[in-house]
A and B are shown apart, each in its own frame.
Chain A
Amino acid sequence: MSDSPAIGETPLAIEHEARPELRHHFSDEQQQRNAASLGMWLFLGTEVMFFGGMFCGYLVYRRIYFPEFAVSSRSLDLVVGTLNTAVLICSSLTVAMSVRAAQTGNRKLQVPLLLATIFFGLVFLGVKGYEWNNKYKEHHIPTFDFSARDLMEKAGDRHVLGLDRISDSGQLQAREAEVQRHSQVFFSLYFALTGMHALHMVVGVGIFSVITWMAWKGAFTPEYHTPLEIAGLYWHFVDIVWIYLFPLLYLIDRRPGA
């Protein structure tokens, strides 16, 4: 603020000296807290629409390229995907518990819980990296020499794709080229969606590193823990995105007869 405050500001400055976390333009903590959480919720709303654009693409292409999406989806690792979902849910629990620890004034518990959150987040990212690496080896990353050959080998998959009903070799080739293109759309969306989600996780881990540091410094009290609370909202949101990505990418087309 200015070096020589105007007349109107002086009482304000004194009034706020006792409460350093209260910014000058709010009249009390309640207003500031509500403003921060409302702001975070609005931001999460924009995030929903951000992912919504990709969900829209997924929905549209799944509708028009259904067989290819079913076959591609089945090539994802169900066990790893399920375990990773569980890891993320654990991280949400530790976040919720750490907010609770701040609310109840339990300083000792905050830092371990936050560290656990970061740990689970990193585990999730590591597992994601493992899955991506497998996709790389399977030639399923559109960037690097994409090939859908292996999706057209199993008899069940060939049936779903309609390849077993084509006898003419020219038609077969054309259909195979089509499968190649359409499954590439699946994997493009897979990488766009999981990549964008992972990016949000990375940002989340960054945010929580700062939050952990603040908690370690003892910044959060039952009266004031807004940063922890809104960072928690962000983390839960990223969790919710995954809760939808998991069934959409891994589950809904897995049934044997699809």
Chain B
Amino acid sequence: MATTAVSAESKNYLNAEYGIRSWLLTTDHKRIAILYLISITLMFFIGGYFALLIRLELLTPAGDLLTADMYNKAFSMHGQIMVFFFLVPSIPAVLGNFLIPMMVGAKDLAFPRINLLSWYVYIGGAAMYIWCVITGGVDTGWTFYTPYSSLFSNTHVVEACLAIFFAGFSSILTGLNFVVTVHRMRAPGMTWTRLPLFVWSHYATSIVMLLGTPVIAITLVLVILERTLNLGIFDPSRGGDPVLFQHLFWFYSHPAVYIMILPSMGVISEIVPCFSRKRVFGYTFVAMASIAIAVIGFLVWAHHMFVAGISLYSALVFSFLSYLVAVPSAIKVFNWTATMYKGSVSFSTPMLYAMGFIGLFTMGGLTGLFLACLGVDVHVHDTYFVIAHFHYIMVGGAVLGYLGGIHLWWPKISGRLYPEAWGRLAAIIVFIGFNLTFFPQFILGYLGMPRRYWDYSHMPEWQALNVLSTAGASILAVGYLLPLAYLLWSLRYGKIAGDNPWMATGLEWKTSSPPPTFNFEQTPEVTWEAYEYEKMPLPEEVTLER
């Protein structure tokens, strides 16, 4: 921000104060969002490093790059870092933090100091996890299944559990802040039906965070107590039932999928109308679908345990309920497509990500139905089919939404435009790289390749697909590094964005870019409905390319 001419008008949250203290002790939700952005990006690349190790190891059938133990640690730490330290905080803690107060027309979140506390708790957890990685790592798989984690593993399970406990606590604080903000801090005239769908989906996410996270917190505490104080709750040799751990773990961890995907859906619900220049089709349905997903998401957890020894009766109930959760997701996909229908669609970078999201999420969701089906699940359980399925949701869904959102709001966050051509190129590379990585894994899984195997020399015919997957992962890596490069570049050299480069609706576009410390010069008064794109002029640049 070298070029900022210091005048009263251009005072914004970035240049309001200088110095490291002004960042580390800030209570400004926008600055905290930036702190989160930096920290989760760091964690993303640590997690990505382990993904790289996994893909390199699987390039050849023999276990030649890593030892078996190293491989176990690599996939465990890849999973835990990506889930708990990247995906769960990604959109809520960065974009949600930055945007929700502005979208509802507030000066800040309801509890700014708790917001800062949540970042410190997150950093405490992340630091502890990195400590755990450095001192030897953890090899339980991201799921910490007992009794392996509580009795047999000789790795740093306690540290990892504690680190994730902290990360969970941080996400509870974030969710709490969001719910109170949405209830209490809305500007005059900002009724519930005028809220952007991004806010609705974050509201639903917060419900899941608040009611699901404490359950995994206590579960991990019990694992710690079982390891350290010899309490016997999950360990069969002390009378416990290991399947109970799985019940409690998945009570959070299935809904956690919605913690990751719902905010992404919120981003898509902002991008699609903006770049189709149309109102969202069926606003109420999309909003209610978010709440429905949050609720029904809690009823399906045992579909992860169909082969773990739960009763058949219970499995049938959970299988049925798992199908149900597809309904609200399908409503959303239908409504986004209907929004684009006959819209004046422009293929800008965020829109490319959004379209990628819709396609990949649909594939991930449909293969999820395969897994909800008892008979098919027995066949593909713990194979690469499952891996491919949840990466279609978590990368194809959550990460694409995150990248799309970062691009959509980058002009607001930084005050600068990113180079559009590079943006589109990166979006296309991510899409191609992603499919090349994970589509072969569906086939591998169907052919029977189990997950978490480090050596498949007994089945060399799996190599071709694995090579494809590794090649795809390298392309995907390029797709991730490109935005990192050009977004940083744009901070200095990007074109000045102006307040509303996309001519988008939403209160966040009505303030300056970057916004002032308290977001608005005066508390806005809302007299219009959400997504009135028919009343908005077309953005300059986009008009040319239509």
A225 at the interface (CB under 8 A from B): no
Pick from A7, A34, A43, A57: contact of B8, CB below 8 A. Answer: A7
Contact in complex: A6, B230 (CB < 8 Å): no
Query: Taking the nearest CB of chain B, how far is it from the CB of A49, in angstroms?
Result: 4
Near B by CB (< 8 A), chain A positions 27-46 give: 27, 31, 34-35, 38-39, 42-43, 45-46
Given A25-B108, A49-B214, A49-B215, the answer on whether A142 and B222 have CB atoms closer than 8 Å is: no
Task: List residues of chain B with CB within 8 A of the CB of A183.
Answer: 239
B240 at the interface (CB under 8 A from A): yes
Pick from B111, B114, B185, B517: contact of A9, CB below 8 A. Answer: B517
A130 at the interface (CB under 8 A from B): no
Contact in complex: A24, B11 (CB < 8 Å): no
Contact in complex: A143, B108 (CB < 8 Å): no
Pick from B176, B179, B518: contact of A25, CB below 8 A. Answer: B518
> How far is A27 from B106 in the complex, measured between Cα atoms in Å?
10
Q: Which residue of A lies closest to B233 (CB)?
A: A188
B241 at the interface (CB under 8 A from A): yes
Contact in complex: B218, A27 (CB < 8 Å): no
Interface centre among B107, B239, B248 (most CB of A within 10 A): B239
Pick from A1, A39, A56, A196: contact of B180, CB below 8 A. Answer: A39
Contact in complex: B218, A6 (CB < 8 Å): no
Contact in complex: A188, B184 (CB < 8 Å): no
B225 at the interface (CB under 8 A from A): yes
Contact in complex: A185, B232 (CB < 8 Å): yes
Contact in complex: B112, A25 (CB < 8 Å): yes
Task: List residues of chain A with CB within 8 A of the CB of B226.
Answer: 188
Task: List residues of chain B with CB within 8 A of the CB of A6.
Answer: 8, 11, 16, 516-518
Near B by CB (< 8 A), chain A positions 46-60 give: 46-54, 56-57, 60
Q: Which of the candidate stretches B62-70, B72-80, B205-213, B492-500 sits at the interface with the other chain?
A: B205-213
B379 at the interface (CB under 8 A from A): no
Contact in complex: B523, A49 (CB < 8 Å): no
Contact in complex: B184, A185 (CB < 8 Å): no
> How far is A56 from B247 in the complex, measured between Cα atoms in Å?
10
Interface size class of B (residues with CB under 8 A): 35 or more
B164 at the interface (CB under 8 A from A): no
Contact in complex: A142, B183 (CB < 8 Å): no
A65 at the interface (CB under 8 A from B): yes
Q: Which residue of B lies closest to A3 (CB)?
A: B17
Q: Which residue of B lies closest to A34 (CB)?
A: B184
Contact in complex: B239, A65 (CB < 8 Å): yes
Contact in complex: B210, A46 (CB < 8 Å): yes
A181 at the interface (CB under 8 A from B): yes
Please tell me the number of chain A residues within 8 Å of chain B, measured between CB atoms.
Answer: 49
Given A6-B8, A45-B210, A53-B215, the answer on whether A1 and B517 have CB atoms closer than 8 Å is: yes
Task: List residues of chain B with CB within 8 A of the CB of A23.
Answer: 112
Contact in complex: A53, B219 (CB < 8 Å): yes
> How far is A12 from B111 in the complex, measured between Cα atoms in Å?
18
Contact in complex: B517, A2 (CB < 8 Å): yes
B5 at the interface (CB under 8 A from A): no
> How far is A23 from B123 in the complex, measured between Cα atoms in Å?
26
> How far is A31 from B186 in the complex, measured between Cα atoms in Å?
11
Pick from B114, B179, B217, B237: contact of A50, CB below 8 A. Answer: B217
> How far is A3 from B218 in the complex, measured between Cα atoms in Å?
44
Query: Taking the nearest CB of chain A, how far is it from the CB of B521, in angstroms?
Result: 4
Pick from A7, A38, A56, A60: contact of B184, CB below 8 A. Answer: A38
Contact in complex: B239, A25 (CB < 8 Å): no
Query: Taking the nearest CB of chain B, how far is it from the CB of A43, in angstroms?
Result: 6
Given A9-B517, A60-B244, the answer on whether A192 and B233 have CB atoms closer than 8 Å is: yes
> How far is A51 from B214 in the complex, measured between Cα atoms in Å?
8
Pick from A47, A53, A146, A189: contact of B248, CB below 8 A. Answer: A53
Near A by CB (< 8 A), chain B positions 168-225 give: 172, 176-177, 179-180, 183-185, 210-215, 217-219, 221-222, 225
Contact in complex: A57, B233 (CB < 8 Å): yes
Query: Taking the nearest CB of chain A, how far is it from the CB of B510, in angstroms?
Result: 14
B522 at the interface (CB under 8 A from A): yes
Query: Taking the nearest CB of chain A, how far is it from the CB of B514, in angstroms?
Result: 13
Task: List residues of chain B with CB within 8 A of the CB of A39.
Answer: 110-111, 114, 176-177, 180
A74 at the interface (CB under 8 A from B): no
Query: Taking the nearest CB of chain B, how far is it from the CB of A24, in angstroms?
Result: 7
Q: Which residue of A lies closest to B215 (CB)?
A: A53
Contact in complex: B172, A46 (CB < 8 Å): yes
> How far is A192 from B114 in the complex, measured between Cα atoms in Å?
28
> How far is A43 from B516 in the complex, measured between Cα atoms in Å?
31
Contact in complex: B233, A189 (CB < 8 Å): yes
> How far is A21 from B16 in the complex, measured between Cα atoms in Å?
24
Contact in complex: B184, A35 (CB < 8 Å): yes
Given A53-B218, A181-B232, A185-B233, the answer on whether A42 and B179 have CB atoms closer than 8 Å is: yes
Near A by CB (< 8 A), chain B positions 506-525 give: 516-518, 520-523
Given A35-B111, A45-B211, A56-B248, the answer on whether A188 and B231 have CB atoms closer than 8 Å is: yes
Task: List residues of chain A with CB within 8 A of the CB of B225.
Answer: 188, 192
Q: Which residue of A lies closest to B210 (CB)?
A: A46
Task: List residues of chain B with CB within 8 A of the CB of A2.
Answer: 16-17, 517
B229 at the interface (CB under 8 A from A): yes
Interface centre among A25, A52, A178, A182 (most CB of B within 10 A): A25
Contact in complex: A50, B214 (CB < 8 Å): yes
Task: List residues of chain B with CB within 8 A of the CB of A61.
Answer: 241, 244
> How far is A86 from B241 in the complex, measured between Cα atoms in Å?
35
Task: List residues of chain A with CB within 8 A of the CB of B217.
Answer: 50, 53
Contact in complex: B521, A7 (CB < 8 Å): yes
A191 at the interface (CB under 8 A from B): yes
Contact in complex: A47, B214 (CB < 8 Å): yes
Task: List residues of chain A with CB within 8 A of the CB of B214.
Answer: 46-50, 52-53
Residues 515-546 of chain B: 1 if any A CB is under 8 Å from the residue's CB, otherwise 0? Answer: 01110111100000000000000000000000
Task: List residues of chain A with CB within 8 A of the CB of B176.
Answer: 39, 42-43, 46
Task: List residues of chain B with CB within 8 A of the CB of A47.
Answer: 214
Closest 4 CB pairs of A and B: A181-B239, A50-B214, A53-B218, A188-B231
Can you list 12 pairs linking A and B with CB atoms under 8 Å apart?
Answer: A6-B8, A6-B518, A8-B521, A12-B518, A24-B108, A42-B179, A46-B176, A48-B214, A50-B218, A184-B239, A188-B226, A188-B233
Taking Cβ atoms with an 8 Å cutoff, the residues of B that contact A are 8, 11, 16-17, 106-112, 114, 172, 176-177, 179-180, 183-185, 210-215, 217-219, 221-222, 225-226, 229-233, 237-241, 244, 247-248, 251, 516-518, 520-523
Q: Given known contacts A54-B222, A178-B239, what 18 new A-B pairs fall within 8 Å (CB)?
A: A6-B16, A6-B516, A8-B516, A24-B107, A25-B108, A39-B176, A43-B176, A50-B218, A51-B218, A56-B248, A61-B244, A142-B229, A142-B230, A142-B238, A188-B225, A188-B232, A188-B240, A192-B222
